[in-house]
Amino acid sequence: MTRIPGHVISIEGGGYTVDADYLAPRLDLSPDRLKAEMRAGLVTSVSEKGEGEDAGRVRLTFRYRARGWSVRIEPDGSAYETPLPETEKAQGTPKLLQMAEQAQRAAKMLGKGGNET
């Protein structure tokens, strides 16, 4: 697991904030695009509190289209990238979405524009 630098995640009042400059490339976005997609409700996040042997830990999972990133925060505040939860990996990318993203990449390569992903 990759350790996350201490400045990336801040914890205040029981809430977590992840630096957009760090999160954006993990979802294949620019920081400005990440913020816009979050305002549009297209980037989602889930916070899970650990129970039992995981008590005191928190997992944050961020999703954008078929992309995702997950981090585990330890009781001491240290944080580590973790694999996406199994339920999310199992969903995969819907075929239509895969085709749309491939078409968008092809249009960019041909110089016909298309939106940044």
Is the model more confident about 33 or about 85?
33
Residue 20 lies in a domain: yes
Q: Does 100 fall in a domain?
A: no
Residue 95 lies in a domain: no
Of the candidates 28, 19, 27, 56, the residue with the CA atom closest to the CA atom of residue 44: 27
Domain total in the chain: 1
- Please report whether residue 14 resides in a domain: yes
pTM flag (> 0.85): no
Per DSSP, what are the bridge partners of residue 4?
A: 79
| pLDDT tens digits along 54-71 | 999 999 999 999 899 999
Is position 68 within any domain? Answer: yes
Q: Does any domain span residue 111?
A: no
What does the pLDDT look like over 82-101, one tens digit per residue? 998 875 444 555 566 666 66
Residue with the bigger pLDDT between 115 and 95: it is 95
Which range of residues forms the domain containing residue 11? Answer: 3-85
